[in-house]
Structure 1
Amino acid sequence: MKIIFSIVAATFITLPILLYLVIFIGVKYWTKNGKRAMNTAINFTTPILIFSVHILFMTIWSYSFIGYIIMFMLLIAVIFTYIYWRMREEIIYHKLFLGYWRLIFLLFMLIYLVLVIYGVLSRAIEAVISR
């Protein structure tokens, strides 16, 4: 059982887009509501996506960037809160957090995709050069 759990966890950490799709399809099947399925998939995938980006940084550069990731997320939270406050003039914390969480999902999905492409290309170039 541990091995199966390890394989599933490693797969979803390596491919968080697959986790998003599994959750989206499952929730959409049970609720018949696409918007709810998308929001649920985003909410559950974001922490895994953040962890995946951290693992990619460690794999590519052999250094932990977790402190920088946390500072980046806090900076985005401050900027997002300021913009939200300027636009709405009243902060509704639940909506603020949901908007922030979705923004973090989009940013980390973009960072994840860039790091995967960079990692693959850099390893391919490294393999070609070392021959």
Structure 2
Amino acid sequence: MGDLLAWVIATIVTIPLLGWYVIYIANVKISKNKKKSIRRASDWTTVLFMIAVYFIMLELWAKSFLWIILALFFFIALIFTWIHWKLSGDIHIGKLFRGIWRFNFLLFFILYLLLCGFGLLYRILII
């Protein structure tokens, strides 16, 4: 049973699109609301996409880019906080955090797709 659980977790971390889909389907079955299910699945799998991007970069270039990923995350948070403060004059933590988190989902989702495509081409053409 432990091996099966480890296999499922490793698969979901390695293929975050599968994790997103599983969470989306589970939320649709529970809530019957597709829009809310898309948002929840995106919110819950942001970390999976970050981990996947980290490991793809590690595999492609044999270097750890964790510091760049973390710096990018905090830079985005800083920019969002500044923009939110300038536009509303007050900082609403919940709204701000949700915006930062969802923007990071979009960023790391796009990075994941780009790095997967680059990795496939790199392995086909170079090696």
For this structure pair, what is the TM-score category when the shorter chain's length is used for normalisation?
over 0.9
- The whole-number CA distance in structure 1 between the counterparts of 2:57 and 2:111 is 10
Letter in 2 for 1:83: I
Matches within 5 A, 1:1-131: 1-127=1-127
Letter in 1 for 2:107: L
How many pairs were matched up? 127
- The whole-number CA distance in structure 2 between the counterparts of 1:27 and 1:78 is 31
TM-score computed with the length of structure 2 as normaliser? 0.95
Alpha-carbon distance, 1:12 to partner: 1.1
Alpha-carbon distance, 1:85 to partner: 1.5
TM-score computed with the length of structure 1 as normaliser? 0.92
- The whole-number CA distance in structure 1 between the counterparts of 2:27 and 2:45 is 13
- The whole-number CA distance in structure 2 between the counterparts of 1:6 and 1:76 is 32
- The whole-number CA distance in structure 2 between the counterparts of 1:42 and 1:61 is 27
Letter in 2 for 1:56: I
**Partner SS for 1:46:** helix
**Partner SS for 2:63:** coil
Question: Identity of paired residues, percent?
Answer: 35
The ranges of structure 1 where at least 4 consecutive aligned residues each deviate by more than 6 angstroms after the TM superposition are none
Structure 1 segments unaligned to the other structure (5+ residues): none
| CA shift digits 1:34-77 (9 cap, x unpaired) | 22212221121011111111111111011111111101111111
Alpha-carbon distance, 1:14 to partner: 1.8
Letter in 1 for 2:40: T
Alpha-carbon distance, 1:6 to partner: 2.1
Letter in 2 for 1:55: F
**Partner SS for 1:91:** coil
